[in-house]
A and B are shown apart, each in its own frame.
Chain A
Amino acid sequence: MEVSVLNRENMAAAGALMPPDVAENIGRTWYRGLVAREDGTEEACGVLVWEYKNVGISGLQTEAELVWAAGERTETMDALFGQYRREIASEYAARSFFEFACEVPGQTVLKSLEAQGFSLRTITGRDLIVTVNDLQRLKLHKKKSPFYVQPLKVLNLRQFSNGIADCMYQGRKGILEDLAWLSNKFFEPDVSACILMDEKAKGFLLVHKTGSGVLVVDLLFTMGVNGSRDVLELIRHSVRTALELYPPETKVLLRRHNQTVRALVDRLFPDMKGEEAVAGERMETADE
């Protein structure tokens, strides 16, 4: 069994084992992956993808979140996890965790995770997937947004960078660990919105469209005493634009990654709870 680092060059061989939404992230700053092949073959038989969290953030320990795991045989998964442990040890990750939609990981993967020391539990998933049609029920789109809420495309690169610097200085990155490395092209130019005042971006609602066409809300951040109202105006702008530009069946992924976002999403969609997911974690020790 040969296990090698997954990168954009050898990604094609593992393409069948990964959905496009995972594959497109390979090569991003904190995304890492491993691919397993049977000796003497080119075709991949297992793949593991993870993302490092909190790298270089004082007061927080580096963690690794598994975002994808696939493999039909226990030996394959064991080989992948063995290499994974060595890789994350070199980055001083203190904890590994994951959250997969229940239907995603196969039984082999789940058994391997358990065998590798992950404590597994079934939870209500953090991701809430709604459709553009569902957004219509919010009734936000009926009122026009104020002049200072603009689509992301109106920002030049300097204004974008400046706004992102504000977000980062406030310690806000949404669900993007590599926000500092992403260009404005990563985000949808129309449905993403910003608060533009005095030629400076003072808030963002950033949306990324994945390879499969899902709209993922990556960051929602505003500054100033009118912050909560501006959040509403940003949402209003994005909802209006999404309703105009995307088919009603387009999926929108809202990741409830902290309590504030969870409260907001619960308020927007009180009758939607999210799918069941299987989650797990493992503390990593330096000596292993």
Chain B
Amino acid sequence: MNDSIMIAWIVNGLAVLLSWAALLLNKRSVPAEQHEDGMFARMCLLTIVAACVKILRKSIYPVTDIEQFDLGLIAIVFIEDMLFLGLLMQWALFVDYMLTKSMDRQRLLLPRVYVALGVVAAAEGIMGGIALYLVFRHDLESTVFLTLWTIVSYFAVQMLELIFLIFSVRKMAVFRKRRKGPILFRGMPFVIPVFIGGVLSLLLVKYVNFTILCIGIGLFLLYLSMKEERHYVHQETGCFTGDYLEILKTGKRSYAGGLGILVTGAGDEGIAKILRYDCPEGMDVIRLESGKYYVAGERADEQAVAYILKNLEEDAKAEGLSLLIRHDLCREGESIGELAARLEGM
């Protein structure tokens, strides 16, 4: 092993350690708001580190032909992939956190990330081992064999990464059960470019790494879709905006049976806080205007509705808020959005 490989090894090794250290840091239980900033800063820093590592490695040990593959290079590429996979997973966790604001869910997802990293690492190791075997055992046809094998193995590993990322992104849907599909769909741009980028970079043979670019494109697409979502989410309270009610009126979003609760009072953020805490999972809280909220949910029995309202009233009292609460079930043919208008008119 020559010096340049050794240096590349060390640089990559350090970068991987950094990446994994960051993963471990996520385990820390810190207040959500601190966590959010810290996590984002860490992600940016690691992305920059990863990019620098890539550039540095390429300047030390440029590989322009697949025939240059040897033990050292396979090891380096393996470590590099681990670094990027670690980063990718961290971004998935970060996006998950941004969507769910759940620290506990972060801690839940972390073991899965480790398992995913372990499986992909093992897959890469096996693929690399077979590639080496092919090089040493089939001297004459090594280029053909190796090229084919590398394409197949890269494809397989990318598929594994894709599966794990879809798995992670799908888990993000937990916080809003009925919106699994759209969230999964929004996560796809984040995943697909990585996959396509990997295959493209391989097919071009030259080690021009599209991965960073593709991750960038993926994140940009994700940003665009999140931006659209922000249109429907009031940033100060975290509740849906009145625009969301328009969707309900069209019937594009429906609830079985339909239960509507209209809450009015003074203290905009206080009401939002109570509603977001007290309304069961599956109910959507919509901010119509300052101090006026509408909660849309599925039809529930009298006892359940009474219990939810009792909790609301008690918590409002504890917070010193006076609330006017009206509720009803949808009538035959009435959408949940139309029920809001009826309750407002009462």
Given contacts A148-B104, A158-B315, contact A168 B277 (CB under 8 A): no
The docked-state distance in angstroms from the alpha carbon of A275 to that of B277 is: 44
Say whether A161 contacts B311, CB under 8 Å. Answer: yes
Say whether A165 contacts B105, CB under 8 Å. Answer: no
The docked-state distance in angstroms from the alpha carbon of A168 to that of B302 is: 10
Could you say which residues of chain A place their CB within 8 Å of the CB of B304? 165, 168-169, 171, 180
B10 within 8 A of partner (CB): no
Given contacts A170-B280, A197-B102, A198-B102, contact A147 B302 (CB under 8 A): no
B103 within 8 A of partner (CB): yes
Given contacts A198-B105, A223-B281, contact A180 B301 (CB under 8 A): no
Most chain B CB inside 10 Å of its own CB: which residue of A147, A165, A170, A198: A165
B328 within 8 A of partner (CB): no
The docked-state distance in angstroms from the alpha carbon of A158 to that of B297 is: 21
Q: Closest approach, in angstroms, between the C-beta of B258 and any C-beta of chain A?
A: 12
Of residues 153 through 176 on chain A, the ones whose CB sits less than 8 Å from some CB of chain B are: 158, 161-162, 164-166, 168-171
Say whether A225 contacts B303, CB under 8 Å. Answer: no
Given contacts A165-B278, A223-B281, contact A171 B301 (CB under 8 A): yes
Q: Closest approach, in angstroms, between the C-beta of A59 and any C-beta of chain B?
A: 8
Could you say which residues of chain A place their CB within 8 Å of the CB of B315? 158
Say whether B299 contacts A58, CB under 8 Å. Answer: yes
* Residue from the list B102, B171, B174, B280 in contact with A169, Cβ < 8 A: B280
Say whether B281 contacts A166, CB under 8 Å. Answer: yes
Q: Mark A222-241, 1 if CB is under 8 A from B, else 0.
A: 01111000000000000000
Say whether B303 contacts A180, CB under 8 Å. Answer: yes
Q: Closest approach, in angstroms, between the C-beta of A57 and any C-beta of chain B?
A: 4
Could you say which residues of chain A place their CB within 8 Å of the CB of B297? 169
A40 within 8 A of partner (CB): no
Say whether B300 contacts A180, CB under 8 Å. Answer: no
The docked-state distance in angstroms from the alpha carbon of A200 to that of B311 is: 14
* Residue from the list A56, A166, A200, A224 in contact with B174, Cβ < 8 A: A224
Q: Closest approach, in angstroms, between the C-beta of B144 and any C-beta of chain A?
A: 46
B306 within 8 A of partner (CB): yes
Q: Closest approach, in angstroms, between the C-beta of B50 and any C-beta of chain A?
A: 31
Could you say which residues of chain A place their CB within 8 Å of the CB of B108? 146, 148, 197
Given contacts A162-B277, A169-B282, A198-B103, contact A180 B299 (CB under 8 A): no
Say whether A180 contacts B103, CB under 8 Å. Answer: no
Given contacts A162-B277, A225-B171, contact A168 B300 (CB under 8 A): yes
The docked-state distance in angstroms from the alpha carbon of A158 to that of B310 is: 11
The docked-state distance in angstroms from the alpha carbon of A146 to that of B108 is: 9
Q: Closest approach, in angstroms, between the C-beta of B245 and any C-beta of chain A?
A: 21
Q: Which residue of A lies closest to B277 (CB)?
A: A162
Q: Closest approach, in angstroms, between the C-beta of B284 and any C-beta of chain A?
A: 13
Most chain A CB inside 10 Å of its own CB: which residue of B302, B303, B308, B315: B303
Could you say which residues of chain B place their CB within 8 Å of the CB of A158? 311, 315
Say whether A166 contacts B302, CB under 8 Å. Answer: no
The docked-state distance in angstroms from the alpha carbon of A55 to that of B306 is: 13
Of residues 166 through 194 on chain B, the ones whose CB sits less than 8 Å from some CB of chain A are: 171, 173-174, 177
Q: Which residue of B lies closest to A226 (CB)?
A: B174
Q: Which residue of B lies closest to A168 (CB)?
A: B304
Say whether B306 contacts A198, CB under 8 Å. Answer: no
Q: Which residue of A lies closest to B100 (CB)?
A: A198
Q: Closest approach, in angstroms, between the C-beta of B107 and any C-beta of chain A?
A: 7
B307 within 8 A of partner (CB): yes
The docked-state distance in angstroms from the alpha carbon of A202 to that of B282 is: 12
B226 within 8 A of partner (CB): no
Say whether A180 contacts B107, CB under 8 Å. Answer: no
Q: Which residue of A lies closest to B298 (CB)?
A: A169
The docked-state distance in angstroms from the alpha carbon of A165 to that of B314 is: 13
Q: Closest approach, in angstroms, between the C-beta of B311 and any C-beta of chain A?
A: 5
Could you say which residues of chain B place their CB within 8 Å of the CB of A146? 108
Say whether B283 contacts A169, CB under 8 Å. Answer: yes
* Residue from the list A147, A148, A168 in contact with B303, Cβ < 8 A: A168
Q: Mark A46-59, 1 if CB is under 8 A from B, else 0.
A: 00000000011110
28 CB-based A-B contacts, threshold 8 Å: A56-B303, A57-B302, A57-B303, A58-B301, A147-B107, A162-B277, A162-B311, A165-B278, A165-B280, A165-B304, A165-B308, A165-B311, A168-B280, A168-B300, A168-B301, A168-B303, A169-B282, A169-B283, A169-B308, A170-B280, A171-B301, A180-B303, A197-B102, A198-B102, A202-B281, A225-B174, A225-B177, A226-B174
Question: 5 nearest interchain CB pairs?
Answer: A56-B302, A169-B280, A168-B304, A57-B301, A197-B104
